[in-house]
Amino acid sequence: TGPRRVALQGDLLDVIGDPGWSAPQDAPSGVRFRPGHWLLIEDGRIVDVRAEAPGPDWRREVRTGQLILPGFIDTHVHSPQLDVITSYGTELLDWLETYTFPAERRYADPAVAQAGAATFLDALLAHGTTTAVVFPTVHKVSADALLAAAHARGMRLIAGKVLMDRHAPDGLRDDVVGAEADSRELIARWHGTGRLSYALTVRFAPTSTPAQLAMAGRLLAEVPGLYMQTHVAENRAEVAWVAELFPQARSYLDVYHRAGLLNERSVLAHGIWLDDTDRALLADTGAQIAHSPSSNLFLGSGLFGWRALEAAGARVSIASDVGGGTSLSIQRTLADAYKMQAMQGVKLSAWKALYTATRGGAEALGLAGEIGSFEPGRSADLCVWDWASGPVAQHRDALARGLHERLFAWLMLSDERNLHETWIAGTCRPSPIRPDRSGVS
């Protein structure tokens, strides 16, 4: 536990309103750039931002010339899949069978689950992600280890045991009764404990029986504040399989709707192969799509229609989807998102990108009062970044005209090697790979 009052100085940047899809200006409303300002943190929460240094009863931490952003929010990522990140040559269903399911089986072992959770959460922090919505495995012990490790680090995490009772290999299936008992036990232990929330975690429609989906829907209605996470409409072969398995459903998304699994705390990854009725259903229920561009490109899944979803009134957050995605870096993820939209003639501004990864993600999760900005009262979950790392980025940064150009270059060129430190509720964790600053005050 750190000191009660800390003042952190640097280039403070946060985006508190959705910048939309209009051409970027240098200072649109909702974007706050306060270079060289002081962020005042008391008992782990932001209490003020000001231009002048505070008095002697504040410990001063000076990061002049460094970029300070709210911590990133990764709304869809798989902790055990660090073991299979960058697996070659397959689309979704073969990728699951060939690489992912064998890797996840190892997490039945408590020692593997504990070591994997620690490695994964330390990696998130080392990439500047302070909040995540996470899939562990079907094994109760893997969810328990992940939630315990997040609690120990003071991180805000949303996770739950994966539900899958069919179409998966031995060692990776539960059953309805056991899955409900395990989920209830984990909910009692972790939901609302510290900064944790529990998510009913339906892997995807093909790996749950209708009875298991119905069980999850009942729990979601019963326990206040639970989240629900799953995958939807990622890959064309997957969509065709779901249509075979659930002939009575109107669409893949409708499978979840019929089971009572869509509400404003539902987080569905991908959402590439949706139609207008699906988009309207997402808007009506308040469920969000966790857009995962790195994964969609790597697995050849398709191009995400971001603008159409938002035009229909649905929410979109941003996600790495490691290990389908190839990096935990949210900058790299946003760079992939930019290129995927560019392929469709749509331009993602740096403002929209940064908003989506911070305040927008917080709003979509119902956590904007807690995280995602530097508004007073928010938890001091933030990151200190170098504006440029390496000669090319330094060259480009020096030539940038205006703030949007500078931030856009930062988003396209930076990654975890730019991270200096991550602050969780006001406690600083230096990056394990931060550049050597000996000799620099």
**Which residues in this chain contact Zn ion in the complex, by CB under 5 A?**
269, 321
CA 12 to CA 286: how far, in whole Å?
31
3-class state of residue 91 by DSSP: coil
> What token pair was written down for 250?
């109107």
Contact between 234 and ligand GUN by CB under 6 A: the answer reads yes
Minimum CB distance to ligand GUN, residue 358 (Å): 23
Closer to ligand GUN by CB, 79 or 130: give it: 79
One-letter amino acid at 223 equals V
> What token pair was written down for 361?
């993600």
E strand intervals along 162-204: 162-163, 196-202
Contact between 78 and ligand GUN by CB under 6 A: the answer reads yes
Contact between 253 and ligand GUN by CB under 6 A: the answer reads no
Closer to ligand GUN by CB, 100 or 212: give it: 100
**Residue 315 binding target from ligand GUN, Zn ion, none, CB below 5 to 8 Å by type:** none
3-class state of residue 3 by DSSP: coil
CA 93 to CA 77: how far, in whole Å?
18
Minimum CB distance to ligand GUN, residue 296 (Å): 9
Helix-strand-coil percent breakdown of the chain, rounded to 5?
A: 40, 25, 35
Per-residue H/E/C for 320-342: CCECCECCCCHHHHHHHHHHHHH
**Residue 203 binding target from Zn ion, ligand GUN, none, CB below 5 to 8 Å by type:** ligand GUN
In order of 75, 131, 218, 437, the CA distances from 71 in angstroms are 13, 7, 33, 22
Contact between 324 and ligand GUN by CB under 6 A: the answer reads yes
One residue of 31, 96, 125, 261 binding ligand GUN per CB under 6 A: 96
Q: Which residue's beta carbon is nearest to the bound ligand GUN?
A: 324
E strand intervals along 154-272: 156-159, 162-163, 196-202, 227-232, 266-270
Closer to Zn ion by CB, 319 or 409: give it: 319
Closer to ligand GUN by CB, 268 or 354: give it: 268
Contact between 71 and ligand GUN by CB under 6 A: the answer reads no
Closer to ligand GUN by CB, 153 or 270: give it: 270
Closer to ligand GUN by CB, 321 or 397: give it: 321
> What token pair was written down for 265?
């705390």
Minimum CB distance to ligand GUN, residue 429 (Å): 28
Contact between 105 and ligand GUN by CB under 6 A: the answer reads no
> What token pair was written down for 59?
């410990």
Contact between 100 and ligand GUN by CB under 6 A: the answer reads yes
CA atoms 281, 321, 422, 34: torsion sign: negative
**Residue 100 binding target from Zn ion, ligand GUN, none, CB below 5 to 8 Å by type:** ligand GUN
State the number of CA atoms in the 13 A half-sphere of 320 facing the CB: 30
- Which residues are bridge partners to 422 per DSSP? 383, 429
Closer to Zn ion by CB, 151 or 236: give it: 236
One residue of 231, 315, 332, 420 binding ligand GUN per CB under 6 A: 231
CA 387 to CA 378: how far, in whole Å?
24
Closer to ligand GUN by CB, 70 or 271: give it: 271
One residue of 79, 295, 329, 331 binding ligand GUN per CB under 6 A: 295
The piece of 61-69, 92-100, 138-146, 173-181 that touches ligand GUN (CB under 6 A) is 92-100
Contact between 167 and ligand GUN by CB under 6 A: the answer reads no
Contact between 256 and ligand GUN by CB under 6 A: the answer reads no
- Which residues are bridge partners to 232 per DSSP? 270
Phi, psi of 220 (to 5 degrees): -60, -40
Contact between 204 and ligand GUN by CB under 6 A: the answer reads yes
Closer to ligand GUN by CB, 204 or 273: give it: 204
Pairing of strands 45-50, 59-70: unpaired
Q: Integer distance in angstroms from the first to the last C-alpha of the chain?
A: 25
Contact between 132 and ligand GUN by CB under 6 A: the answer reads no
Minimum CB distance to ligand GUN, residue 204 (Å): 4
Point out which residues bind ligand GUN (CB under 6 A): 78, 92, 96, 100, 203-204, 231, 234, 295, 321, 324
